[in-house]
Amino acid sequence: MAKILKILVIDDDPAIIQSCARVLGRDGHEIDSAQNGAQGLNLFAGSAYDLVLLDLRMPDIDGMSLLSQLREQDPRTVIIVISGYGSVESAVQAVKLGAFDFLSKPFTPGELRRSVNKSKEYLEQEAERTYLKEELKRRRPGEIVSRSEAMNRVLQTLKRVAATDTTVLLTGESGTGKGLVARRIHQVSPRERYPYVAVDCSTLVPTLFESELFGHIRGAFTGADSNKIGKFELSNGGTLFFDEVSNISLDIQAKLLKAVEERAIYQVGSNRLIRVDTRLVAATNKDLAQAVSQGSFREDLFYRLNVVPIQLPPLRDRREDIPLLCGYFLDQFRRLAPVGLRGFAPPALALLSSHHWPGNVRELENVVQRLVILATGSMISEEEVEAAIGVVSRVHIGEIMSLAQLEERHIKEILQRLDGHRTQTAKALGIDRKTLLHKIKKYNLA
């Protein structure tokens, strides 16, 4: 989909303003105008603009001074300087002050469009660079592997809804793949070439949640040493995914509702309105309707998010997918195997297929990774599967243990089986080495 720019034209000539508005308005862009520098600064202070067309000769403020003030307020805005007194010296000075391009009056509609389109390409490249920096911090998800009827129904609904801009609410137990489905919705939608940004609502610090969503300006609060782009703005044109949305506090829910309704945000510490065009997908493992009745989730926000609900089935309801998933994860982790690994022995695969999997696909992935790392032969055996999932089985059958006791015992067992090799143990447990060292110290396992 084409990106619509919000453009401010600052020029004391009404004819220039009208012609720019007419030419660029035909391309679908949103145009505001000011006939002097003070009016332009006032508009710029109250709303975020992608692009400013700025006349160098203004009746009240020198154009170069105005250019500097605009750049200081928001260095991300692209500024095209226009002037009837074009010269190499003024163009060079404008570029030094941060102008992106220079148009000399009189200019044709084609010249104006070319300059604006060049600015648009630059803005998209900058947005992509920012997006990629964020994306590199995240683990890239895998594919949706399925042949079950339950998941096929989900995928059919996904295809129909992806072609629209409708808000989607994904529900299901933890580990059922809600994040994968959210990304697939984005990938097969018209917004695919724009950013997909995920917000893990369960891990963000509540005091910084507003800043993460909406961004902040320098000095907005203690520690805000520079401007920060929020997730809403980062996902502009694309898709914003709220994972475990039920964990958002009520005060942030109110601000989120306003942003969803108005498709506009304010950065923390700023009064400038920023328009955002983003598709919303939310996910939760909780019953949001019940949360509404209990007063922990806003009813109006629930109805805004629950436009098209998609329920993801637990792994125990799609057992025919377990062999496929085992093969997929085996291929993903085969490089970690200490021996040449060919696959699963039939009894091992049957045991995996019959297991209850309370942690769903995520739990299965961790178990397969552990089996690959600890494999002793070319085929993963039934005994090895029993050892991998047996800790849980023994607890169900025998003694009652706390989660901490279960975790301590399991870490101790894997450490012993791997002769105390901490890097391999961390990989087998599906955690990083730093986390493992913390738990070893916590349970005094050193």
Residue with tokens 């700025």: 54
Q: Nearest 5 degrees, angle CA 108-CA 109-CA 113?
A: 120
- Give the residue from 382, 400, 394, 322 showing the smallest Cα distance to 357: 322
Q: Identify the weakest region by mean pLDDT among 52-61, 63-72, 342-351, 411-420.
A: 411-420
Cα–chain center distance at 67: 33
Q: What is the pLDDT of residues 121-171, one digit of tens each?
A: 888 777 766 665 555 445 444 578 888 999 999 999 999 999 999 999 999
Residue 213 phi, psi dihedral angles, 5° rounding:
-75, -45
Range 397-407 average pLDDT: 61
Cβ burial, residue 203 (10 Å; 0-12/13-18/19+): exposed
Mark residue 225 as left, alpha or beta (left: phi above 0; alpha: psi -120 to 50; beta: remaining). alpha
Instruction: Give me the percent of the chain exceeding a pLDDT of 70.
Output: 91
Instruction: Give me the percent of the chain exceeding a pLDDT of 90.
Output: 44
Structure letter (DSSP) for residue 268: B
> Helices 109-136 and 14-26: crossing angle, nearest 10°?
60
Q: Is the pLDDT of residue 331 over 70?
A: yes
Residue with tokens 């012993």: 416
Higher per-residue confidence, 446 vs 441? 441
pLDDT of res. 136: 47
Query: What is the distance between the terminal CA atoms of the chain, rounded to a whole angstrom?
Result: 56
- In sequence order, the β-bridge partners of residue 169 are 282, 309
pLDDT of res. 410: 75
Residue 136 phi, psi dihedral angles, 5° rounding:
-65, -20
Q: Identify the weakest region by mean pLDDT among 33-42, 109-118, 224-233, 286-295.
A: 224-233
Q: What is the pLDDT of residues 14-24, one digit of tens each?
A: 999 999 999 99
What DSSP string describes 42-111? Answer: HHHHHB--SEEEEES--SSS-HHHHHHHHHHH-TTSEEEEEESS--HHHHHHHHHTT-SEEEESS--HHH
pLDDT of res. 135: 55
Rg of the chain on CA atoms, in Å:
28
| CB neighbour list of residue 299: distance below 8 Å, 6 or more residues apart | 292
Higher per-residue confidence, 241 vs 375? 241
Residue 356 phi, psi dihedral angles, 5° rounding:
-75, -30
- Give the residue from 70, 72, 74, 52 showing the smallest Cα distance to 61: 70
Helix, coil or strand: residue 3: coil
Distance CA 410, CA 397 (A): 16
User: Residue 115 CB: number of other CB atoms within 10 A?
Assistant: 20
Higher per-residue confidence, 252 vs 446? 252
Residue 72 phi, psi dihedral angles, 5° rounding:
-70, -40
Q: What is the pLDDT of residues 79-119, one digit of tens each?
A: 999 887 656 677 778 888 888 888 888 889 999 999 999 89
